[in-house]
Amino acid sequence: MKQNNISHIKKREIQAPIVTSIVKEFIKELGKEKALAILSRVIEKDAVKSGQELARQFNGNSMKELVTLIKEIWCKDEAMEIEVLRETDSEFHFNVIRCKYAEIYNELGEMELGKCLSCDRDFPFNKGFNPEIKLKRSKTIMEGMDICDFRYTKISLV
CA-wise closest residue to 148 among 82, 100, 85: 82
The structural architecture, per CATH, of the domain 8-154 is 2-Layer Sandwich (3.30)
In 10 A of CB 41, how many CB atoms? 10
Contact partners, residue 131, CB within 8 Å, separation at least 6 = 157
Name the phi and psi angles at 9, rounded to 5: -70, -35
Tens-binned pLDDT, residue by residue, of the chain (158 aa): 445 678 999 999 999 999 999 999 999 999 999 999 999 999 999 999 999 999 999 999 999 999 999 999 999 999 999 999 999 999 999 999 999 999 999 999 999 999 999 999 999 999 999 999 999 999 999 999 999 999 999 997 65
Contact partners, residue 125, CB within 8 Å, separation at least 6 = 47, 48, 50, 51
